[in-house]
Chains A and B, each alone.
Chain A
Amino acid sequence: MDAGFYLQLLLNGIVIGVIYALVAMGLSLIFGVLEIVNFAHGEFYMLGAMLAYFLTMNMGLGYAATVVVVTAVAVCLGYVLYEALLASLEGGGFERSILLTLGLSMVLQNGAVFLFTTTPRMVQTSQSYVNLVVGDVRVSLMRVFALALGLLAFGALYLILYGTRIGRAMRGVAQNRDAALMVGIDPRAVSRLAVAIGIGLSGLAGAALAPVYAVHPLMGFSFVFKAFAIIIIGGLGNVAGAAVAAVALGMLESVIGGFLPLVMVDALVFSSMIAMLLLRPQGLFGRGVRV
């Protein structure tokens, strides 16, 4: 095996990791602020990809514009989701939240199967089959684009959380909901925004990955369970921890997949999660300050 092989594995791992981070960050944010594990998160990612397919392939919209529209629609969906379903769970009801989001996941997934069938669809852009080649290392342009979107989304989220008043409010609600209310923060408004941003991120992930992976109603399933493992490893509700854990896991998966059977990769991911739960339940980066 030459250096090109190792570099290729490393590059694949970084791309996969940032893709995981894109999905996991929204999940982590929602848990951080609302303490709700959103089992339907993967379905919003799938809906984002489906909408991206519809806009590019059926409506003829440009891909860049599609990413913006899909993210905006996902943010709106997040608002609706919060007001219609999640707001009723305020102040407890963790078990109810699991049942509710699991049920929502099934409705969305089977609804998509009913409406679109499970036929895989491919989003074709003018750049879909363009590859960047440096020596022996190759990567498709659309993967690089997804990587850039993932980094941009992380940067933007970090700025919102640590550089704005609304970010401080989110962190406040995450640390102590009652205390935040006492100092004049409206937890409902903050929660609504957190869900909107979280679902917006999953929509963005769907749009970013629609030209990379086949689009079909079951595509969210495989990602969301890995995202759960990532947010547990990174520290429940810790957005930065989730991002770092995602990239680390992506790279680990790629390196292991390059030497060991691929079927062992998932076993390794979930073994890491179990080990983390046993040895360091608060995750690598802790869950004290959640977002």
Chain B
Amino acid sequence: MRRMRLAVAVAALAALAHSGFAQSQEGPILIGASIPLTGGVSMFGQHSRWGAELAAAEANAKGGVLGRKIEIDFQDNRCNPAEAVKSVTQMLAEKKYVAIFDGLCSSAALAIMPLVERAGIPFVVANASATSIAERSGVGGNKWTFKVNPTDASMLDALVGWLDKEGKAGNIAFLGEDSDFGRAGSTGLENALKKRNLKLAGVDFFQKGNADFTPVLTKIKARKPGLLALYAVDADFQNAIRQWYGLGGGVPLTGRVLVDQVPKEIMESGFLDGTTSVQPYDPSVDTPGNKAFVEAFRKLHNVPPILVSFESYEAMKVLIDAIRRAGKADPAAIRDALVTTKMPSMLGTVIDFDDHNLAHNNAIILTIKGGKVVVLGMSKT
């Protein structure tokens, strides 16, 4: 009797396991995303989600991929490496996801990388810009991580090249948040300047969430730099830019300045004229693909896309394309398909990965002239 019960239990477990397997083969294709949905940069997390969801919705509207719908499960990482590890570990334990998406913050993405390598599941980085992500991927060691957006180093090299031509690269002070994002910015600038026998006039870091920048901005102003490279986002950026204006900084900004987030009054005053910024995206890029994207995004959310929305949209399209070409929802097959990606970008290039699994899309060089943002041009990263 006991044997009979055991046999029934085993049969029931097998049936359950089989039904689960059958569901994973026939239900939607699940992608796990770890992004900041709460915390200081959740606005960017929201835009990342909107961008990725739009790409998935477009694919699903065309009948899905391999005859199945694409579904993205978003987990919160608060832009914190420990939370990123927690969220991705949970997703990997469930073994129902075919890939992990984004991370958004560089520190979070770097923390996720060893997990996906151990689990053997592709990780598509859409927004994190730290150069070390690409350095450690592909021939750098981690075969499962693919970085679709350009690195800070490549973007800053393009920017410094342009500044050098204009004779403006000689006296740049740096102020950035004390994180992988800010540190990658200072290292990227230092390396780009070093190539041209130049160096930074000063380097300062601040802690994320710092409200008052007046002491450090007073110090920077007294040094009289030619340009100030500002690596700040969200509330930090708003506080820093207002206080720089309040102190009459008198020096244009450079680096990855969020020109679309400068308060209108400061922008129109001409205070920031001469500012140059390098970004992976600008909504004003004049290509048919971008125009359609901006229109679709605005229709859904009543706001224009920002670079995070664009990067997540295009990175999700890269991942969906790889799933389609893989011919099956299998992580290893998707990884192999990612390696051979050749997908047109909305910025006019073709996205493909180098031996560090890094794509080299165009970067946009912007300037502020007469209180308005002007696209100077695009430069391959």
For residue A107, give the distance in angstroms from its CB to the closest CB of chain B. 14
Chain A, Cβ-Cβ closest to B213: A262
Alpha-carbon distance A257/B265, docked complex (angstroms): 28
Chain B residues with Cβ below 8 Å from A257 are 214-216, 218-219
Alpha-carbon distance A263/B210, docked complex (angstroms): 10
Interface string of B31-53 (1 = CB under 8 A from A): 00000001111110010000000
Alpha-carbon distance A13/B43, docked complex (angstroms): 31
Contact (Cβ within 8 A) B238 A222: no
A-B pairs with beta carbons under 8 Å apart, 6 shown: A129-B266, A131-B246, A254-B214, A255-B215, A261-B205, A262-B215
Contact (Cβ within 8 A) A218 B247: no
Contact (Cβ within 8 A) A265 B215: yes
For residue B181, give the distance in angstroms from its CB to the closest CB of chain A. 15
Chain A residues with Cβ below 8 Å from B239 are 213-214
A99 at interface (Cβ–Cβ under 8 A)? no
Chain A, Cβ-Cβ closest to B205: A263
For residue A46, give the distance in angstroms from its CB to the closest CB of chain B. 12
Alpha-carbon distance A213/B269, docked complex (angstroms): 20
Chain B residues with Cβ below 8 Å from A96 are none
Contact (Cβ within 8 A) B269 A129: yes
Contact (Cβ within 8 A) A263 B206: yes
Chain A residues with Cβ below 8 Å from B354 are none
- Residue from B43, B211, B245, B263 in contact with A213 in the complex, judged by beta carbons closer than 8 Å: B211
B63 at interface (Cβ–Cβ under 8 A)? no
Alpha-carbon distance A124/B269, docked complex (angstroms): 15
Contact (Cβ within 8 A) A216 B211: no
Chain B, Cβ-Cβ closest to A8: B218
- Residue from B235, B263, B269 in contact with A219 in the complex, judged by beta carbons closer than 8 Å: B235
Chain A residues with Cβ below 8 Å from B263 are 122, 124
Contact (Cβ within 8 A) B215 A113: no
Chain A, Cβ-Cβ closest to B43: A119
For residue A199, give the distance in angstroms from its CB to the closest CB of chain B. 21
A118-B206 contact, Cβ under 8 Å, with A129-B245, A258-B218: no
Chain B residues with Cβ below 8 Å from A143 are 246
Interface string of B211-225 (1 = CB under 8 A from A): 111111011001000
Chain A residues with Cβ below 8 Å from B180 are none
A170 at interface (Cβ–Cβ under 8 A)? no
A164 at interface (Cβ–Cβ under 8 A)? no
Chain B residues with Cβ below 8 Å from A263 are 178, 205-207
A256-B246 contact, Cβ under 8 Å, with A214-B239, A216-B235, A262-B205: no
A117 at interface (Cβ–Cβ under 8 A)? yes
A122-B238 contact, Cβ under 8 Å, with A1-B222, A138-B246, A222-B211: yes
Chain A, Cβ-Cβ closest to B266: A129
- Chain A interface residues toward B at CB < 8 A: 1, 5, 8-9, 12-13, 15-16, 19, 110, 113, 117-120, 122, 124, 128-129, 131, 133, 138-140, 143, 213-214, 216, 218-219, 221-223, 253-259, 261-263, 265-266
Interface string of B168-192 (1 = CB under 8 A from A): 0000000000100000000000000
For residue B235, give the distance in angstroms from its CB to the closest CB of chain A. 4
Interface string of B10-46 (1 = CB under 8 A from A): 0000000000000000000000000000111111001
- Residue from A120, A221, A256 in contact with B234 in the complex, judged by beta carbons closer than 8 Å: A120
Contact (Cβ within 8 A) B42 A118: yes
B324 at interface (Cβ–Cβ under 8 A)? no
Alpha-carbon distance A29/B265, docked complex (angstroms): 39
- Residue from B218, B242, B248, B265 in contact with A12 in the complex, judged by beta carbons closer than 8 Å: B218
3 pairs of A and B residues whose beta carbons are closest in the complex? A257-B215, A120-B235, A140-B246
B204 at interface (Cβ–Cβ under 8 A)? yes
- Residue from A19, A118, A222, A265 in contact with B38 in the complex, judged by beta carbons closer than 8 Å: A118
Chain B, Cβ-Cβ closest to A259: B219
- Residue from A16, A122, A253, A258 in contact with B219 in the complex, judged by beta carbons closer than 8 Å: A258
Residue of B205, B242, B266 contacting most chain A CB atoms (<10 Å):
B242
Chain B, Cβ-Cβ closest to A20: B212
B209 at interface (Cβ–Cβ under 8 A)? yes
Chain B residues with Cβ below 8 Å from A13 are 215
Chain B, Cβ-Cβ closest to A221: B209
Contact (Cβ within 8 A) A12 B215: yes
For residue A142, give the distance in angstroms from its CB to the closest CB of chain B. 9
Contact (Cβ within 8 A) B211 A262: no
Alpha-carbon distance A140/B209, docked complex (angstroms): 21
Interface string of B352-379 (1 = CB under 8 A from A): 0000000000000000000000000000
Interface string of B240-267 (1 = CB under 8 A from A): 0010011110000000000000010110
Contact (Cβ within 8 A) B211 A254: no
Alpha-carbon distance A181/B178, docked complex (angstroms): 52
Chain A, Cβ-Cβ closest to B271: A129
Chain B, Cβ-Cβ closest to A124: B265
Alpha-carbon distance A255/B43, docked complex (angstroms): 34
Alpha-carbon distance A262/B213, docked complex (angstroms): 9
Known pairs A119-B43, A214-B239, A258-B219; list 4 more (Cβ under 8 Å). Answer: A120-B238, A129-B245, A218-B40, A262-B215
Chain A residues with Cβ below 8 Å from B204 are 261-262
Alpha-carbon distance A63/B263, docked complex (angstroms): 19
- Residue from A5, A117, A222 in contact with B218 in the complex, judged by beta carbons closer than 8 Å: A5
Alpha-carbon distance A266/B216, docked complex (angstroms): 13
Chain A residues with Cβ below 8 Å from B178 are 263
Contact (Cβ within 8 A) B242 A118: no
For residue A105, give the distance in angstroms from its CB to the closest CB of chain B. 14
Contact (Cβ within 8 A) B218 A128: no
Alpha-carbon distance A215/B321, docked complex (angstroms): 41
Chain A residues with Cβ below 8 Å from B269 are 129
Interface string of B56-82 (1 = CB under 8 A from A): 000000000000000000000000000
Alpha-carbon distance A219/B210, docked complex (angstroms): 9
Alpha-carbon distance A281/B269, docked complex (angstroms): 51
Alpha-carbon distance A12/B216, docked complex (angstroms): 11
Alpha-carbon distance A122/B267, docked complex (angstroms): 15
For residue A14, give the distance in angstroms from its CB to the closest CB of chain B. 11
Alpha-carbon distance A143/B266, docked complex (angstroms): 17
Chain B, Cβ-Cβ closest to A255: B215
Chain B residues with Cβ below 8 Å from A266 are 207
Contact (Cβ within 8 A) A262 B265: no
